[in-house]
Amino acid sequence: MLISPYKPGGTPPYLAGRSRELQAIRDFLAPVVAHGEKADAQMVLHGPRGIGKTSVMAAAASQAAEDGFVVAWTSCHRKEPFLADLARSIDRALERAEVTDPPRLRATVDRVALEVGVPAVAKLSADFKRGHKPTPPSGAIAAVEDLLTQAAVASSGSQTHGSGVGLLIAIDELHAGAPGELAILLNASQNLNREREHYPLAILGAGLTSTLGILTSAATFGERSRWLGLPELQDEDLAEAIVAPATELGVSWHPDAVRLVLAAAHRYPHFVQVMSSAVWHAARPDDGGTISPHDARAGIIVGQQEVADLYRARWDSLTAAESRLAATIAHLGGEEAVDRAAIENAFGGDISPYRARLLDKAVIEEATRGQLCFTLPGFADFVLAEADATAPKTNHRGNDG
């Protein structure tokens, strides 16, 4: 059997249907390549979970590295600090690119790790949670500015690429960044715009649809980011994502097998990778082989169990009150978005604390302002099978008090 070309949970080797977005990112990076100057305000890819934001950003970052950029990548997590990790990522990226590491730059990396850990930054995040509009500490902003400018200039002299282009910072899960640290980064980037011609630098982020509001709350000018929404892929794009990687290995798919996978995957990109991988292992094809509808049906059974395990993991992570809110949304809307007012009416009170937790756990997302829906297709049916809105689930976590 040939090794499966599908990557559930990872970056697929073949990115179908995203040429428009990749070209937009190339256009965004063009001023850095052509003139050695800072790109416009950060570009942010946004869309629901599983639609391929990370894959698009990874493909763009890979192309940028081939074009001569030094690429530093980091991910945010659960509103926790990320700037110290970003500083270390920049340091590692420069080292991999064999950029001369001047003592001043190394000292600046250490300074960022120190400055963003001071109590003032913790207070900044706390103020955001209370709904205030605090001013980020100038020491931390200056430290990040120094890091970005020094690293960008050093990147333009990368030994690996001869005459390097500059520095690309890629930040995944941007919506999950600590608000105080997002404010520091946005302010530092904004300050550098005044002398953009000196700094070959670009910042690219990816996050949920809520990222626009989060960045605007962190800094008013966050709304000036260049927003690049990822639309849902069409059936022909998803079919290409199934067929093309196999074709490169000399394996073909029967059209009916492709249609079975698309239906079983709810036409959701992540599930397409899960189902395609499961079908591949059921078929065990060799060069010149064809994946049949029979293979597809056998593999889909396995893929559906993987998806059910994912649903189960999410459901079991919920407290009793969170489960009741999820069940309320499922009863009201199923796979469709539901108005918050209708949810609160059926739930019997304010849903704010439980809504925030479900958002944080990636169980639900804001479809549009004031509307909520599940992040995974098919999860509503799973929830309805597990609990009824009028009979809250009890578990070892107990109630939320």
DSSP assignment of 105-171? HHHHHHHHHHHTTSHHHHHHHHHHHTT--PPPPHHHHHHHHHHHHHHHHHHTT-STTSS--EEEEEE
For 286, the token pair is 């060799």
The two structure tokens encoding residue 227: 């927003």
pLDDT of residue 214: 87
Q: What is the distance, to the nearest Å, from the Cα of residue 110 to the centroid of all Cα atoms in its chain?
A: 27
DSSP-based three-state secondary structure for 15: coil
Per-residue pLDDT, 370:
84
Cβ–Cβ < 8 Å for 336, 344? no
> 4-8 contacts: CB < 8 A, separation 24 or more?
4/277, 4/280, 4/281, 5/245, 5/246, 5/248, 5/249, 5/280, 6/245, 6/273, 6/276, 6/277, 6/280, 7/273, 7/277, 8/270, 8/273, 8/274, 8/277, 8/306
CA 391, CA 401: separation in Å to the nearest integer? Answer: 17
SS3 217: helix
| pLDDT higher than 60, residue 87 | yes
Asked if residue 343 lies in contact with residue 372, where contact means CB atoms within 8 angstroms, the answer is yes
The mean pLDDT of 39-58, rounded to a whole number, is: 91
Least-confidence region, from 158-172, 264-278, 364-378: 158-172
Residue with the two structure tokens 């970052």: 61
What's the rounded Cα separation, in Å, for the pair 153 and 199?
Answer: 6
Q: How many Å separate Cα 202 from the centre of its chain?
A: 18
Chain Cα centroid distance, residue 209 = 10
DSSP letter string, 80-92: ---HHHHHHHHHH
Residue 124, pLDDT > 80, answer no
123 contacts: CB under 8 Å, gap ≥ 6: 134
The per-residue pLDDT for 396 is: 42
Minimum mean pLDDT among 142-146, 279-283, 294-298, 364-368: which range?
364-368
Residue 401 to residue 392: CA distance in whole angstroms: 14
241-265 burial, b at 16+ Cβ within 10 Å, e below that, comes to bbbbbbeebebebeeebbebbbebb
Q: Taking 70 as the threshold, does the pLDDT of residue 127 lie above it?
A: no
As a whole number, mean pLDDT of residues 339-359 equals 93
294's tokens: 């029979």
Alpha-carbon distances, residue 265 vs 242, 273, 310, 326 (angstroms): 12, 9, 13, 22
Helix (H) or strand (E) run with residue 284 in it: none
How much is the pTM? 0.83
Residue-wise pLDDT for 204-258, tens only, equals 999 988 888 889 888 888 888 999 999 989 999 999 999 999 999 999 999 999 9
Distance CA 203, CA 175 (A): 15
| Angle, CA of 157, 161 and 162, to the nearest 5° | 60
Cβ count within 10 A of residue 387: 20
pLDDT on residue 235: 95
pLDDT at 308: 96
Mean pLDDT to the nearest integer, 326-344: 93
The whole-number pLDDT of residue 133 equals 67
Query: 99: phi > 0 → left, psi -120 to 50 → alpha, else beta; which?
Result: beta
- Model confidence at 119, pLDDT cuts 50, 70, 90, reads low
pLDDT, residue 103, reads 64
- Pick from 179, 185, 213, 170: nearest CA to 53: 170
pLDDT confidence band for 111 (50 / 70 / 90) = confident
